[in-house]
Chains A and B, each alone.
Chain A
């Protein structure tokens, strides 16, 4: 069996205590401990440390920890995913897309709109009469305006976050 010096035995004490040394090394440590009072003292200390670490105490958390944490997170702004605006946005986009394809595409709409704009400018210059917009175009304009409004609201939600009041509880009798 190999003989260990104190310097070799000391770093093996913790694994020895845990039982994680192979049989031969453990036997060598045991033999060294049998003949060395200093290392026996170190071994005693090494044995006691895990239990003493487990017994380390910390004070109880103060009773106001939970309320102060909840008050702190109530101030945290966290962006939330809002379904309402998303549904509206999708609906409006679908309406606009359906309407545009009903007019045979964007190019048709563009020439149509530019014609109307020219007419409006002409009316402003006094060379033409105010064009009467078909009611479906008004619907398109209204849908676009609504989409802009909903998207703006949605963006405001995302940027500002929504910190719902923490004290909101259902009223009880």
Chain B
């Protein structure tokens, strides 16, 4: 619930006009009716988190911008079909993560199960000074990676992660435990 409120406040703060505070849901409703200014407010309010999500997926600033733009264009096309009786955030994040997954699927096969070989000197992640954790997260199976990104990076509650992924809270917890266990093993192997 915290992140919902935070997003609403962020959206409201981005309002450069008369200081009218609109929730993301209200903005989505207006944007769905063709209000470009409402859509712009929506993008302003979500761009940081959407870009952050895209970056966690592609780990490249330029590509993250492409993915973020694709997410917002996709949102724009689909807003008319959004049922405003339902909460906006789970619907939106589900759409956003689907765009990320499709993008990564189109791009390259998932770099998972790669042996951590010693010739990692040419690894771009290493060169850019990226943390071992970020790299390990990038190599994690996406079934485990997504809930970790949504909960810890995007600050969603377990309930929201569950709604976004269409899973039960218990299933989300179990995936997060397993994902964290894989990260722990990877990191402690690297350290040891």
The chain A residues found within 8 Å of chain B, CB to CB, are: 10-11, 13-15, 18, 20, 41-42, 45-46, 49-50, 52-54, 56, 58-62, 65-66, 68-70, 72-74, 76, 78, 80, 166
Interface size, B (range): 35 or more
**Residues B173 and A20 in contact, CB atoms below 8 Å apart:** yes
The closest CB in chain A to the CB of B183 belongs to A49
A49 to chain B: which residues have CB within 8 Å?
133, 180, 183-184, 187
**Residues B43 and A42 in contact, CB atoms below 8 Å apart:** no
Known: A58-B51, A61-B47. A166 touches B36 (CB 8 A): yes
Q: List 15 A-B contacts (CB under 8 A).
A: A14-B176, A14-B181, A14-B184, A50-B180, A52-B133, A53-B137, A54-B153, A61-B50, A61-B65, A66-B44, A68-B69, A70-B36, A72-B69, A72-B73, A76-B73
**Residues A53 and B188 in contact, CB atoms below 8 Å apart:** no
- What's the dominant secondary structure at chain B's contact region? helix
Is B106 engaged at the interface, CB distance under 8 Å to the other chain?
Answer: no
The chain B residues found within 8 Å of chain A, CB to CB, are: 34, 36, 39-40, 43-44, 47-48, 50-52, 55-56, 61, 64-65, 68-69, 72-73, 76-77, 80, 131, 133-134, 137, 148, 152-153, 155, 173, 176-178, 180-181, 183-184, 187-188
B183 to chain A: which residues have CB within 8 Å?
49, 53
**Residues A73 and B39 in contact, CB atoms below 8 Å apart:** yes
Nearest chain B CB to A70's CB is how many angstroms away? 6
The closest CB in chain A to the CB of B173 belongs to A20
A42 to chain B: which residues have CB within 8 Å?
184, 188
B72 to chain A: which residues have CB within 8 Å?
69, 72-73
- What's the dominant secondary structure at chain A's contact region? helix
Complex CA–CA separation, A10 to B72 (angstroms): 41
**Residues A59 and B188 in contact, CB atoms below 8 Å apart:** no
Known: A52-B133, A54-B152, A70-B36. A46 touches B180 (CB 8 A): yes
The closest CB in chain A to the CB of B51 belongs to A61
Name, among A42, A46, A61, A80, the residue most crowded by chain B CB atoms within 10 Å (CB to CB): A61
Given pairs A58-B56, A66-B47, 4 additional interface contacts (CB within 8 A): A14-B178, A50-B152, A53-B148, A61-B51
B184 to chain A: which residues have CB within 8 Å?
13-14, 42, 45-46, 49
Complex CA–CA separation, A61 to B62 (angstroms): 10
Complex CA–CA separation, A25 to B134 (angstroms): 31
**Residues B137 and A65 in contact, CB atoms below 8 Å apart:** no
**Residues B48 and A61 in contact, CB atoms below 8 Å apart:** yes
